[in-house]
Chain A
Amino acid sequence: AQKVTQAQTEISVVEKEDVTLDCVYETRDTTYYLFWYKQPPSGELVFLIRRNSFDEQNEISGRYSWNFQKSTSSFNFTITASQVVDSAVYFCALSEALETGANNLFFGTGTRLTVIP
C-alpha cells in the first residue's frame, strides 16, 4: 500500500531563513512518481515538481531545491531565503502507474509553512 508521511505539521520561520520540508513515502512498486504541491490560502493546489523513481538527481529551481533519496524513501523540499509569499500548505504526493493508466495521487497530510516578516 502507498503511504506518504509528512511529520512536520506546522513550521514557522523568519523571512530569509532556509527551511526544509520532509517527506517520507512507502510503496511496493519499483516505478512510481513523487510530487510536491503548494496550497496557498486561496486554496488552489499549485504543481511544483514531479520526479520519477529512476531519477535520483537533485533538482534546483530558483530558491527551491529537492533531495530525492531512494535509500531512505525520502523526497525533501528546501526553500532558500524564504519569503512571506512562500507561506502556504505544502503537500508531498506519490503516484503509481496502474494498469488502467491512472496515476492516482496519494497525498501526505501537508506541512503548513508560515514565513514571518
Chain B
Amino acid sequence: DTGVSQNPRHKITKRGQNVTFRCDPISEHNRLYWYRQTLGQGPEFLTYFQNEAQLEKSRLLSDRFSAERPKGSFSTLEIQRTEQGDSAMYLCASSLAAASGDYEQYFGPGTRLTVT
C-alpha cells in the first residue's frame, strides 16, 4: 500500500491526557498537511510542512497542539491536556510540490479521537 497511512485509527482517552498521532505520507511527497474534521463538517486546516519545516499554522492550533516532521518524512501531531472539544477526526494529507503550486492532496484514513 503506497497511500497515506495514519496510526492509530481510533483513540479513546480521558480528559487531561496527552495523545500523539502519526502520519506516514506518500514517500515522494514533500508537503504534508494536518486537518481536523468534526461531525457534519468539512475538514479544517491545522498546519502544513514543506519537508521538515512547519510553514503554516492555523489559529485553530492552540498551544496544546504541536506537530513535527523531524526528517521530512513521517509527522506526528500531539495534543496535550486533551479536552472534550478535541474529539474529532484528525486527517493527514500529502502532496508533491510543483513549480505551479501543489498537486492534489491525498488523504489518509484519519485518526478518530474521542475524549471522555
Contact = CB atoms under 8 A, between A and B. Distances in A.
Interface stretch (B17-25, B43-51, B64-72, B73-81): B43-51
Helix, strand, loop or mixed for chain B's interface? strand
Interface in B85-109: 89, 91, 93, 95, 97, 101-109
B33 A104 contact: yes
Interface residues of A, number: 27
A102 B55 contact: yes
B101 A100 contact: no
B40 A101 contact: no
Report the contact-size class of chain B (Cβ under 8 Å from the partner). 20 to 34
A101 to B, nearest CB: 6
Given A100-B48, A105-B105, A110-B42, 6 more contacts: A91-B43, A93-B42, A98-B56, A103-B95, A107-B42, A110-B41
16 contacts: A42-B109, A43-B89, A43-B109, A45-B91, A45-B107, A50-B104, A91-B42, A97-B101, A101-B97, A103-B101, A104-B56, A105-B35, A105-B45, A106-B45, A107-B44, A109-B41
